[in-house]
């Protein structure tokens, strides 16, 4: 088997020891060699001391899903030796720190041990406790560069870019790289059979995490008010928004900002601020995760019923309750679709990677204002926090925000009368007005029963008329949300239907199944409410495997509820242990079912 540009390795360290910069150095260097690469940071809910891992998959073929099959393990955390050594594929390699005698837990006869005296070398060449610890990480990056054939010049360039203005740091980093590199070169046959060879497959791509991309989307959409309460894994989104706003939205001369970031006291308040700001006419959003959405429920119902735009990013993490805050899942699909008490239904967008996180962030504001309702963008920890290789983000300068039906002062002045909830155009969307525009624009927004004129009501017909129109309005959005992505011959017996970050694993599975002679049609839904094409896909296939990352098959439940297609037609394939979905999960699920039938 050709293992050039097709392998995976994992680095086991302790949290807070400074391995992150070594890991991203390796990632970036591989990327600059033109070879597709993905990194998954598996980290604890802790600031210092607990185990952390970084998984890097190299795939010349361009597969970006996580693989749990590691050809090489860098085992630097004695606390996890036992677990780590087991994860190496037979015939693989294990890199350890040979400063100390080999720990017996690392013995395994079917793998090759690579001992590098990382601590020893760093103690000899660096002074100060912190520097020695930090440089140990850079030294393993140097060793990996020799072992895996990562271009040393590229590493040098990257260090120069990073530490160009800090020559002392530049020198020590380069020295550490050289130490690891030279030791590996002179003691082991380099490169190993798994190694890199330059390609040109990353030219038009970037490495970016979904939170950064989504934050950038908010900037480009013209969002001005961000409200939030910190929660993993969404926190870095507001940090990125702030960074971009300081770069692009600060008038240094006058010292004024063209944005406001409000750190709320909790998520109830965060969504309240978002609704208040949108009601006043600003594009406003909040990034959060499942526990935050739970708290926001009451307010979301208000925004739905009083018809006020709001954009909510749910970077999903494992539930229920606090769950595993640093592990990924798609477990809020149901909650977001119907958040809040009473009859509600919300527009949801499901990006599959950071590029779509950027695009759907912009789309979310347009939909929220057009339909005057909350819109969710559901990513997850894997999309939000990990670096993904995606095509460069594109921007069309002719874009202008779709503010929906907002009456101007002139329109209000000319109007005979303005009634906030009157469906003048027959599309279920009534025009709104913003505070301060015109005396005729005044109306009383309320979460209590109201009639189409905006007046308080307890009258059965008046109440029903308004809630029925809102249902029509939100259902109408199924034509405006991003259409599903499809692939396959279109007439296969079997289908795979999935959502969000499962995409990469499913695409890989589809290829592998094809190699076994199993042809499937593929659909990835990208928006809710589902369009007619989703129902058609379910009806057309004998069996549709619904692939998702939660215990209860929430996507399948949504499909059943919304399309009316019997649940028996859908076979649930789930993985919900907290790691991103892998192709082998998909294939194992499908195979189990096919064998049962056969």
Partner 1 sequence: MTYIAKPRVHHPALQKNEIGLTRRDYEGTVTTLCAGCGHDSITAAIIHAFWELSIPPHTVAKLSGIGCSSKTPAYFLKEAHGFNSVHGRMPSLVTGANAANGAITYIGVSGDGDSLSIGLGQLCHAIRRNVNVLYVLENNGVYGLTKGQFSASADPGSLSKRGEPNTMEAIDGCLMALTLGATFVARSFSGDKAQLVPLLKAGLKHKGFAFIDVISPCVTFNDHEGSTKSYAYTRENTVEVVQADFIAPAKAITTEYDPGAVREVTMHDGSTVRLRKVADDYDPADRDRAYHYIRKKHAEGEVVTGLLYISTDSKDMQAQNSLGATPLVQLPYEQLCPGSAELAKLQQQFR
By CB under 8 A, the residues from 234 to 253 that bind partner 1 are: 248-249, 251
Q: Toward partner 1, which CB reaches closer, 53 or 220? A: 220
Q: Toward partner 1, which CB reaches closer, 264 or 480? A: 264
- Rounded Cα distance, 564 and 318, in Å: 28
> Should residue 264 be labelled a site residue for partner 1 when binding is judged by CB under 8 A?
yes
> Should residue 272 be labelled a site residue for partner 1 when binding is judged by CB under 8 A?
yes
- Rounded Cα distance, 274 and 286, in Å: 7
Binding residues for partner 1, rule CB under 8 A, total 77
Q: To 10 degrees, the CA torsion angle through 230, 236, 240, 241?
A: -40
Q: Which of 124, 171, 266, 511 binds partner 1 (CB under 8 A)?
A: 266
> Should residue 370 be labelled a site residue for partner 1 when binding is judged by CB under 8 A?
no
Q: Is the peptide bond before 233 cis (omega within 30 degrees of 0)?
A: yes
> Should residue 220 be labelled a site residue for partner 1 when binding is judged by CB under 8 A?
yes
> Should residue 270 be labelled a site residue for partner 1 when binding is judged by CB under 8 A?
yes
> Should residue 72 be labelled a site residue for partner 1 when binding is judged by CB under 8 A?
no
Q: Toward partner 1, which CB reaches closer, 340 or 572? A: 340
Phi, psi of 207 (to 5 degrees): -105, 115
Q: To 10 degrees, the CA torsion angle through 155, 381, 513, 556?
A: -170
Cβ neighbours of residue 129 closer than 8 Å, sequence gap 6 or more: none
Q: In the bound complex, what is the minimum distance in angstroms from residue 408's beta carbon to partner 1?
A: 9
Q: Which of 7, 31, 81, 576 binds partner 1 (CB under 8 A)?
A: 31
- Rounded Cα distance, 236 and 305, in Å: 31
Answer yes or no: are the C-beta atoms of 213 and 195 closer than 8 Å. no
Q: Toward partner 1, which CB reaches closer, 76 or 277? A: 277
Task: Report the Cα–Cα distance between both ends of the chain, in Å, rounded.
Answer: 31
Stretch that binds partner 1, among 40-48, 221-229, 230-238, 522-530 (CB under 8 A): 221-229
Q: Toward partner 1, which CB reaches closer, 281 or 319? A: 281
* 454-493 footprint of partner 1 as x/- string (CB under 8 A): --x-------------------------------------
Crossing angle of helices 210-221 and 354-371, rounded to 10°: 40
Q: Which of 160, 341, 446, 493 binds partner 1 (CB under 8 A)?
A: 446
Cβ neighbours of residue 84 closer than 8 Å, sequence gap 6 or more: 10, 12, 73, 75, 77, 94
Q: Toward partner 1, which CB reaches closer, 13 or 433? A: 433
- Rounded Cα distance, 419 and 299, in Å: 23
Q: In the bound complex, what is the minimum distance in angstroms from residue 337's beta carbon to partner 1?
A: 21
Q: Which of 278, 328, 557, 572 binds partner 1 (CB under 8 A)?
A: 278
By CB under 8 A, the residues from 377 to 436 that bind partner 1 are: 392-397, 399-401, 409, 413, 433-436
> Should residue 448 be labelled a site residue for partner 1 when binding is judged by CB under 8 A?
yes
Cβ neighbours of residue 114 closer than 8 Å, sequence gap 6 or more: 93, 94, 95, 96, 143, 147, 184, 188
> Should residue 558 be labelled a site residue for partner 1 when binding is judged by CB under 8 A?
no
Answer yes or no: are the C-beta atoms of 176 and 139 closer than 8 Å. yes
Q: In the bound complex, what is the minimum distance in angstroms from residue 236's beta carbon to partner 1?
A: 14
CA 248 from chain centre, in angstroms, equals 24
């Amino acid at each position: 088997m050709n293992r050039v540009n097709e392998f995976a390795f994992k680095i086991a360290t302790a949290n807070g020891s400074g391995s992150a910069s070594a890991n991203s150095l390796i990632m970036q260097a591989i990327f600059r060699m033109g070879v597709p690469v993905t990194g998954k940071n598996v980290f604890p809910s802790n600031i210092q001391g607990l185990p952390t891992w970084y998984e890097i998959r190299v795939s010349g073929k361009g597969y970006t899903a996580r693989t749990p099959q590691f050809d090489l393990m860098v085992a630097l955390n004695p606390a996890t030796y036992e677990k780590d050594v087991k994860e190496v594929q037979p015939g693989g390699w294990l890199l350890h720190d040979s400063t100390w005698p080999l720990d017996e837990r690392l013995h395994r006869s079917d793998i090759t041990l690579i001992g590098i005296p990382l601590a020893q070398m760093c103690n000899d060449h660096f002074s100060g406790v912190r520097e020695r610890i930090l440089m140990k990480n850079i030294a393993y990056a140097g060793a990996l560069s020799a072992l895996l054939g990562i271009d040393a010049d590229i590493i040098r360039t990257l260090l120069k870019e990073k530490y160009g203005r800090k020559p002392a740091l530049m020198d020590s980093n380069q020295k550490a790289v050289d130490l690891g590199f030279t030791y590996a070169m002179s003691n082991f046959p380099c490169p190993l059979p798994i190694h890199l060879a330059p390609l040109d497959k990353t030219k038009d791509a970037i490495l970016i995490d979904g939170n950064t991309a989504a934050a950038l989307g908010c900037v480009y959409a013209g969002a001005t008010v961000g409200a939030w309460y910190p929660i993993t894994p969404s926190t870095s989104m507001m940090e990125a928004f702030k960074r971009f706003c300081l770069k692009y939205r600060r008038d240094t001369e006058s010292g004024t900002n063209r944005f406001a970031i409000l750190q709320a006291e909790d998520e109830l308040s965060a969504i309240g601020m978002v609704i208040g700001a949108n009601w006043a006419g600003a594009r406003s959003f909040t990034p959060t995760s499942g526990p935050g959405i739970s708290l926001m429920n009451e307010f979301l119902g208000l925004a739905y019923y009083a018809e006020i735009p709001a954009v909510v990013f749910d970077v999903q993490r494992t539930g229920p309750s606090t769950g595993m805050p640093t592990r990924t899942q798609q477990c809020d699909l149901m909650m977001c679709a119907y958040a809040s008490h009473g009859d509600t239904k919300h527009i949801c967008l499901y990006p599959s990677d950071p590029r779509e996180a950027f695009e759907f962030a912009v789309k979310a504001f347009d939909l929220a204002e057009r339909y005057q309702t909350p819109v969710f963008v559901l990513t997850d920890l894997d999309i939000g926090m990990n670096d993904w290789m995606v095509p460069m983000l594109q921007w069309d300068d002719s874009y202008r925000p779709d503010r929906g039906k907002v009456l101007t002062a002139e329109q209000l002045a000319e109007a005979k009368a303005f009634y906030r909830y009157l469906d003048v155009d027959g599309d279920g969307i009534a025009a709104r007005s913003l505070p301060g525009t015109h005396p005729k624009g005044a109306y009383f927004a309320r979460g209590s029963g109201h009639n189409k004129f905006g007046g308080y009501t307890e009258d059965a017909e008046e109440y029903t008329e308004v809630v029925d129109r809102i249902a029509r309005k939100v259902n109408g959005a199924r034509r405006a949300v991003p259409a599903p992505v499809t692939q396959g011959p279109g007439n296969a017996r079997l289908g795979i239907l999935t959502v969000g970050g499962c995409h990469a694993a499913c695409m890989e599975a589809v290829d592998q199944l094809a190699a076994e002679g199993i042809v499937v049609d593929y659909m990835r839904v990208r928006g809710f409410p589902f369009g007619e094409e989703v129902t058609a896909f379910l009806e057309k296939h004998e069996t549709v495997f619904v692939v998702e990352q939660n215990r209860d098959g929430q996507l399948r439940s949504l499909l059943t509820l919304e399309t009316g297609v019997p649940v028996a037609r859908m076979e649930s394939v789930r993985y919900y242990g907290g790691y991103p979905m892998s192709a082998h999960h998909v294939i194992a699920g499908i195979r189990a079912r096919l064998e049962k039938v056969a």
